[in-house]
Chain A
């Protein structure tokens, strides 16, 4: 029983982290119909920033996430300004290939600058700390990261649903021209949305070095999982992405533990295929 609870806990905690990464992807897709293939690389760059802040100046990830979030916001906003803006109105393939190119660029730039080595941050405040409740072990850095992720997802959701700015973002997504007639500068909304999408993944990336190694390829798997969360949850739906992310975290943990570690992504992507065959719009899609 304790083992079962432990595996479930691990699954939920991973799922909450995936949810934050997926929320950023979902936001960008929902408003702009653009799939940001460089999303995982935004995460990787944010992790490097947090790692270097910790390694060089002993800044703890518990603080570095702010810098990483701001940095990734700027990268997102710049990506829109310099790349995405020029692909709007052209084939949907253009934005997709452009972000794919950006992902290659970021990955190889980091490979060149920082080498492919795995970098691990030691002596973080939470690093290696655990506590146990009834035999179930909680890893403090992972717990903090996951709860934090949930909090940020909730904030982004409230921003979209409950504020005037959020309504303006939704209006832009539904009918860009009508939004302009309301006096909404849709160009600024796009910059903001790309920035927010980046900030979500940047905050996650800022916290991760407290328990995960940083290396140039680290974003690949995360972005793939985030994409699956978004597609499974229903494109553009943040609650859908959260639900799918927890589901994926659980499937990953249980199949990895009870079947075999090598099997876990077979189960995750198998589930994805089943959901997409059964409900192509995703679980919460329109």
Chain B
């Protein structure tokens, strides 16, 4: 397949008819790690929700693997290979780690395949294997974030969308999570990452988009964005 795996063209959307994002376009190519960065309230999560199908764009189109998914609900975008790990983790708190992971592979019916996926994510996050029978709510914030990512990987998606992975984690854990994201990407997974921690997110990404009040104000290679005066002034306090 040629062309980007995800193409977002000029989408507008918001809550209760009040627009929050005004014409966002972006694309993600096979194998890339792309970061969307910006301050709180810039519309990053809204953009992700619209792509995943949790809310519908008022206008514009979203194409994934050549399929128009603009109006496709979340449970269907998942089936064609788009996995969204939402902001705030949203684990099933009363279910065990293993049950959470099983639900991540809910669309898979082949027992062998599910077990193989379980082994893969346990290898990636060994802590989860130790805690497989614990309920999700009893784990630490860092472990919960690992579980959220692992759950998102269980369906073997073509695109993994990660939203605000650093939220509520102490800096040493943020680094660990970022390392995990890099190694997942290196294994061939295409990743779209949304982050408030601009520097950390751009350091691991190949390309980036800077979002401000619902519009993309800058885009390009992550290195170029990291060196741009505007980004440094606005987001890194330099």
- Contact residues of A with B, CB < 8 Å? 164, 167-168, 170-171, 174-175, 177-186
Contacts and interface: CB of A to CB of B under 8 A. Distances in A.
B106 interface: yes
11 contacts: A167-B103, A170-B92, A174-B92, A180-B73, A181-B84, A181-B86, A181-B90, A182-B106, A183-B107, A184-B106, A185-B75
A142 B115 CA distance: 45
Interface of B: 52, 54, 73-76, 78-79, 83-84, 86, 90-95, 99, 102-104, 106-107, 151, 155
A175 B92 contact: yes
B74 A171 contact: no
Nearest to A188: B75
A30 to B, nearest CB: 11
Chain A residues touching B, majority SS: helix
B27 to A, nearest CB: 22
A167 B102 contact: yes
Contact of B92 (A178, A183, A185, A186): A178
A184 B103 contact: yes
A177 B54 contact: yes
4 tightest A-B CB contacts, nearest first? A183-B78, A183-B107, A178-B90, A180-B74
A164 B95 CA distance: 12
A168 B74 contact: no
Contacts of B76: 183
Contacts of A179: 92, 103
Contacts, number: 65
Given A167-B95, A170-B94, A177-B86, A183 B102 contact: no
Contacts of B106: 164, 168, 182-184
A133 to B, nearest CB: 42
A177 B90 contact: yes
Given A167-B95, A183-B79, A184-B75, A175 B103 contact: no
Contacts of B83: 181
Contact of A170 (B52, B84, B95, B151): B95
A234 to B, nearest CB: 13
Contacts of A181: 52, 54, 74-75, 78, 83-84, 86, 90
B90 A183 contact: no
Contacts of A164: 102-103, 106
Given A179-B92, A181-B78, 13 more contacts: A167-B95, A168-B103, A168-B106, A170-B94, A170-B95, A174-B94, A175-B90, A181-B75, A181-B84, A181-B90, A182-B103, A183-B79, A183-B107
A184 B102 CA distance: 12
Nearest to A178: B90
A186 B99 CA distance: 17
Contacts of B95: 167, 170-171, 174
Nearest to B148: A178
A178 B102 CA distance: 14
Contacts of A180: 54, 73-75, 78
